[in-house]
Amino acid sequence: MHYYTDVLKKYGSFQGRARRREYWMFALFNGIIVLVLVGLAAATKSTALYVLYAAYILAVVIPSVGLLVRRLHDTGRSGGWFFITFVPFVGGLVLFIFMVLEGNRGPNEYGPDPKGADVYPGAAGPYAG
């Protein structure tokens, strides 16, 4: 759950890098919350729950895009790659592949490695690799 709250703490941040785990755990929690809200709204036919669902979606748009950009940064790509999603059929697939790829080891132009040296045994410095 802390991955979800960590992303929300960086609400409008498009700087730095994000690990795969941070991205996918946030996606998992978002998916669960959305399914619960939509399921409850459909089961109760409650307009209030549909409004709550819409408000939730609007509330997490900015942190979701920020996290996506930071995840792209971790793979050494500019946040501009987000726009590939507008390419029909293949755009979403390409972006999905980028989200699955391991991030660059060590620092890159977007910041230090979020995993740190402890992930790379025998590394000679905090960001060696």
**Res 74: pLDDT:** 93
101 is a domain residue: yes
The distance in angstroms from the start CA to the end CA of the chain is 30
Q: Is the pLDDT of residue 39 over 50?
A: yes
120 is a domain residue: no
Domain containing residue 30? 2-109
pTM of the model: 0.80
DSSP code per residue over 70-107: HHHHHTT--GGGGGGGGSTTTHHHHHHHHHHSPPPSS-
102 is a domain residue: yes
pLDDT tens-place string over residues 40-65:
999 999 999 999 999 999 999 999 99
d(CA 58, CA 60): 6
Percent share of the chain, pLDDT over 90: 67
94 is a domain residue: yes
84 is a domain residue: yes
| Domains: count for the chain | 1
